[in-house]
Structure 1
Amino acid sequence: MEKEPKPAIIPNRPILMSEGLVKYILESSVYPRESEPLRELRNATDNHPLNFIASSPDAGQLMALLLKLLNAKKTIEVGVFTGYSLLLTALNIPDDGKIIALDPDRNSYEIGLPFIKKAGVEHKIEFLESPALPVLDKLLKDQANDGSFDFAFVDADKNNYWNYHERLIKLVRIGGIIAYDNTLWGGSVAMAEEEVPEVKREWRKHAIAFNKAIADDSRLELTLASVGDGLSICRRLL
């Protein structure tokens, strides 16, 4: 019997997500409801040589729903790139809402800034050109910041995810949510190491270790949603 062909895989998508299925999800449910500023920013990001690291619009749609369900007003974002998820957050919190956005690369953020300004939400954003850990530590020195954030989104260096988690779990309020992107790492977390391209192996190890660590963390409720490249959604309990 002739073997069935393997499904086509697109970069940074879970191994079971065929290109056709991803296309269907995007075209049937995501793109019809994507706002014009987000669509314009996504198209502009396509010209960036690292466009594949941008937040996926289907994961963004889920985040938008979470923000609305939380009635989120104060958020924090670790890793900004061109700002798709940042703009999405700004569009889904109140006009007097606040986002602290952390990234050491301002050049990529500048690509998205015209679209943020056009959408009229720049006033909600405090962009800090800095590695995240020093800023998070500084925030924690002020007790007024403990439990003061409604939502956090992390899409940054995977080797520091647990370091970010230990800080954000204190900054986000009980009942608030921390979402971590790329926790399936292109589906490689479910593959034998020798099957994974060498360039992906190091951060695959970090993704596996982080997934286990948050699964064992009694301070939170957890779901790992297979949207985009894997979105781990953590609700703080303690």
Structure 2
Amino acid sequence: MENIKDPSIYRNPVILQSEDLTNYILETAVYPREAEPLKELRKATENHPWGFIAALPEAGQLISILLKLLNPKKTIEIGVFTGYSLLLTALNIPDDGKITAIDIDRKTYEIGLPVIKKAGVEHKIDFIESPALPILDKLLEDPSNEGTFDFAFIDADKENYVNYHDRLIKLVKVGGLLIYDNTLWGGRVVWPEDKIPPHSKSGTTAAIEFNKKIRDDSRVEFSLTSIGDGLSICRRVV
């Protein structure tokens, strides 16, 4: 074995999260394999003032593989924005699959809708313009909905992630997946409190509390990954 004076250089978080390495991943592995409809929608989203909040394509690449392995037919998405992750899901579920998609703003969804229609997957989507909690509560009023969803993707207000999880864990079946986006919150989950900008404090606190909740939730297997802005991948086991 070679003489290693400083083993830490082989696992340096600063290096692993560098912009150059992210660009290498995108250019080498993500963009060449990105489906054309997703590429078109991503580029359309870049022109939106809030385009930076869209699901990241490197996270989408992993999710697409998980969807193919899971082969879900009934899914739910909380937080749609222009629909990148929604389109990705629609492209990777069977033709008779259904997605319950919930967002408070239909206008942003309509930015991606022409691409979704052109891709031939609009029939898989039931878009609901509403805050998510009332819809989830309505679903749970009918016990027959419990354990019927195969997959859930959540990319919405972080302050409600705990509330979403409390409901979704009942709706997703044992063996199903729940994936939460932005759970590293731009890396701020490890920042000293006095360094966190005021506008980011509530989201940072919410992400930290959510990660603790999932860590301690015996109903799921759990992986907190550093892909994109952090993906918390949960598999319901109980």
> If the length of structure 2 is used for normalisation, what is the TM-score?
0.93
Equivalent residue for 2:9? none
> Which has the bigger relative contact order, CA under 8 A and spacing at least 6?
1
In 2, are the aligned partners of 1:221 and 1:237 still within 8 Å (CA)?
yes
1:96-119 per-position Cα deviation (integer Å, ceiling 9, x unaligned): 000000001000000000000000
Secondary structure of the 1:40 match is helix
Q: Aligned equivalents of 2:181 and 2:15: distance in 1?
A: 16
Q: Give 1:77-156 correspondences, 5 Å limit.
A: 77-156=77-156
- Runs of 4+ aligned residues of structure 1 deviating over 4 Å after TM superposition are none
CA RMSD of aligned residues (A): 1.1
| Bigger mean CA deviation after superposition, 111-120 or 189-198 | 189-198
> In structure 2, what residue type is equivalent to 1:157?
D
Equivalences, count? 225
Secondary structure of the 2:209 match is helix
Q: Aligned equivalents of 1:45 and 1:135: distance in 2?
A: 26
Equivalent residue for 1:46? 46
> If the length of structure 1 is used for normalisation, what is the TM-score?
0.93
Q: Aligned equivalents of 1:207 and 1:225: distance in 2?
A: 13
CA offset at residue 16 of structure 1? 5.1
Q: Aligned equivalents of 2:52 and 2:17: distance in 1?
A: 16
Q: Aligned equivalents of 1:156 and 1:15: distance in 2?
A: 29
Equivalent residue for 2:190? 190
Q: Aligned equivalents of 2:108 and 2:173: distance in 1?
A: 30
Equivalent residue for 1:221? 221
Q: Aligned equivalents of 1:160 and 1:136: distance in 2?
A: 12
Structure 1 gaps, min length 5: 1-13
In 2, are the aligned partners of 1:76 and 1:152 still within 8 Å (CA)?
yes
Structure 2 gaps, min length 5: 1-13
> In structure 2, what residue type is equivalent to 1:48?
H
> In structure 1, what residue type is equivalent to 2:199?
V
1:156-185 per-position Cα deviation (integer Å, ceiling 9, x unaligned): 010100100011000000000000000000
1:162 aligns with 2:193: no
Secondary structure of the 1:80 match is coil
